[in-house]
Structure 1
Amino acid sequence: MKRQKRDRNERAHSQGYKAGLNGRSSEECPYQQMEAKSYWLGGWRDARDDKNAGLYK
């Protein structure tokens, strides 16, 4: 049985979230396509919000 690849936008969001938790700048987004870039930035913003809310140290 073949494994299904994760959705590219889901992967971009996940990578953006990890980048936000690690304190990277939003300027370091590796995506050029607008849709993937917006998912990455969305994940980055979610992580920054979670970190500021005290969910992570």
Structure 2
Amino acid sequence: MKRQKRDPYQKAYVSGYKAGVSGRSRDECPGSNINAREFWMSGWREGREDQWSGMTGISGLHKNPMAAS
């Protein structure tokens, strides 16, 4: 049975979200594809907002970026 591949833009968004929640810099954004970069930055911004709102650890479990796929 074939495995379904994830959308590369969804993968970039999730990666950016994880970077934002963990407090990493936006300078770590991969710049290979402009569209993937936009999704990564969107995820990073949302992750940073969630970190600033205190939605890290147990309180942030209900907001799983992987569940949006």
| TM-score computed with the length of structure 2 as normaliser | 0.75
**How far 1:31 sits from its partner (Å)?**
3.0
Partner Cα separation in structure 2 for residue 38 and residue 30 of structure 1: 10
Matched to 1:20, the amino acid is G
Match of 2:34 in 1: 34
1:12 alignment partner in structure 2: 12
Secondary structure of 1:54's aligned partner: coil
Deviation beyond 4 Å, 4+ runs, structure 1:
none
- The residue aligned with 2:60 is none
Unaligned runs of 5+ in 2: 58-69
User: Does 2:18 align with 1:24?
Assistant: no
Calculate the aligned-residue CA RMSD, in Å.
1.2
Per the normalisation by structure 1, the TM-score is: 0.89
Percent identical? 47
